[in-house]
């Protein structure tokens, strides 16, 4: 074997590694983004310091994004064009339910959180029923429920947010805390990382990697016809994926109420809403839009990439320009992720 052949094979192996193993690729992209903004900061091109304190503080935005990215991953994994455009509207409506339960009716916090998560699961069950048992395309079904949930959230309290004293006190859940032992050496971390995001990440990972349901979900997402012939409960498995997505959206509603210190009827749908960034993160994390392929770690790393990219863009432009360029970056990242997934599917059968 010649030296040229060996060199060509090594390059092919590296290309295959970065295309099929999405984790190394995302790690490299995160390093590139962070180093780029550090260099710009050192050169005085940013309006404020881009340092580790700023990066740590920006993680507060990662909590709802990563959780909704995991919710989208579950429904996309179920295959047959699985997608949930209503997650942002569920966040808005479930947030109002939480506002009434905790802020108006005086329920205990734990009971209000459980009720809100259960209400989110109920909204997801409506989506799952329409998609799995009625046979509606997921795009149409969840677009319809998006409009329905959004309108109910707006009219349920006459377009007014709920910001009573108990709701305002919840802002303490969004504060940053010092980690034990090593906390004095690193920046403080948003509390929501530990109270909501990490438990959700662990739960979804256990669901997919350590339960029979997780194996069935990957199976029906890859080929639901073969799964049906194999005797797998395709409809029930797909239905539950939407229920779990709704449950996670209900928990995100609690997070957003705490962050805003107010239950806002437009919390999940204002601007461009929460659904599109969540879908972008899932696709960028290596979740195949055709279903059956995706990993929790990919979604988490994709969230970090988006959050730290957006944080840097805000410092690179003055005024409202930063938020507009964030949308441009989000669109570019989505196109990049779709192209990457398509190339990986054609050459190697998908990412891992």
pLDDT at residue 1 above 60?
Answer: no
pLDDT at residue 8 above 70?
Answer: no
Query: Poorest-confidence range of 24-28, 50-54, 106-110, 226-230?
Result: 24-28
Indicate the pLDDT class of residue 301, thresholds 50, 70 and 90.
very high
Query: Poorest-confidence range of 42-56, 86-100, 115-129, 141-155?
Result: 42-56
Q: Residue 171: its pLDDT value, please?
A: 83
C-alpha distances in Å from residue 69, one per residue of 201, 271, 279:
10, 18, 6
Over range 129-153, report the average pLDDT: 95
Indicate the pLDDT class of residue 350, thresholds 50, 70 and 90.
low
Structural tokens at position 132: 């799995």
Decide: 22 and 352 in contact? Cβ < 8 Å. Answer: yes
Structural tokens at position 208: 């997919």
Mean pLDDT over all residues of the chain?
Answer: 89
| pTM of the predicted protein model | 0.91
Decide: 125 and 249 in contact? Cβ < 8 Å. Answer: no
Q: Residue 14: its pLDDT value, please?
A: 65
Which residues in the chain belong to E strands, given as ranges? 176-177, 189-190
Distance CA(131)–CA(8), nearest Å, equals: 47
pLDDT at residue 2 above 80?
Answer: no
Of 167, 89, 154, 158, whose CA–CA distance to 123 is shortest? 89
Distance CA(305)–CA(249), nearest Å, equals: 21
Q: Residue 336: its pLDDT value, please?
A: 80
Going by the DSSP 8-state scheme, the letter that residue 179 receives in this structure is P
pLDDT at residue 204 above 60?
Answer: yes
CA max distance for the chain: 77
Q: Residue 123: its pLDDT value, please?
A: 97
What count of other Cβ atoms lies within 10 Å of the Cβ of residue 183? 12
Q: Residue 83: its pLDDT value, please?
A: 93
Q: Residue 335: its pLDDT value, please?
A: 82
- Cα-flanking dihedrals φ and ψ of residue 176, to 5°? -95, 145
Q: Residue 3: its pLDDT value, please?
A: 60
Of 135, 127, 57, whose CA–CA distance to 89 is shortest? 127
Indicate the pLDDT class of residue 15, thresholds 50, 70 and 90.
low
């Amino acid at each position: 074997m010649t030296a040229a052949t060996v060199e060509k094979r090594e390059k092919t192996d590296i290309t295959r590694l970065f295309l099929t193993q999405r984790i190394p690729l995302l790690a490299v992209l995160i390093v590139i983004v962070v180093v780029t903004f550090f260099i710009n900061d050192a050169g005085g091109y940013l309006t404020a310091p881009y340092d580790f304190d700023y990066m740590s503080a920006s993680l507060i935005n990662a909590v709802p994004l990563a959780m909704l990215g995991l919710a989208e991953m579950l429904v996309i994994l179920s295959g047959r064009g699985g997608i949930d455009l209503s997650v942002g509207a569920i966040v808005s409506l479930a947030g109002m339910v939480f506002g009434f339960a905790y802020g108006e009716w005086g329920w205990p916090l734990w009971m209000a959180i459980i009720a809100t998560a259960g209400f989110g699961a109920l909204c997801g069950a409506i989506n799952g029923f329409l998609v799995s048992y009625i046979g509606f395309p997921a795009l149409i079904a969840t677009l319809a429920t998006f409009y329905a949930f959004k309108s109910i959230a707006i009219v349920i309290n006459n377009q007014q947010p709920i910001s009573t004293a108990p709701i305002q006190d919840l802002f303490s859940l969004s504060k940053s805390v010092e980690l034990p032992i090593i906390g004095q050496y690193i920046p403080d971390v948003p509390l929501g990382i530990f109270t909501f995001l990490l438990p959700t990440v662990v739960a979804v990972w256990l669901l997919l990697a350590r339960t029979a349901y997780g194996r069935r979900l990957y199976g029906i997402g890859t080929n639901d016809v073969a799964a049906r012939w194999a005797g797998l409960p395709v409809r029930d498995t797909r239905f539950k994926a939407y229920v779990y997505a709704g449950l996670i959206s209900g928990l995100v509603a609690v997070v957003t109420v705490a962050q805003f210190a107010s239950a806002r009827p437009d919390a999940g749908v204002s601007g461009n809403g929460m659904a599109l960034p969540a879908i972008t993160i899932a696709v960028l994390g290596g979740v195949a839009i055709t279903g059956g392929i995706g990993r929790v770690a990919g979604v988490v790393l994709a969230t970090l990439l988006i959050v730290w990219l957006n944080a840097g863009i805000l410092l690179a432009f003055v005024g409202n320009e930063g938020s507009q360029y964030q949308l441009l970056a989000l669109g570019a990242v989505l196109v990049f992720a779709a192209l990457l997934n398509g190339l990986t599917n054609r050459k190697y059968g998908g990412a891992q």
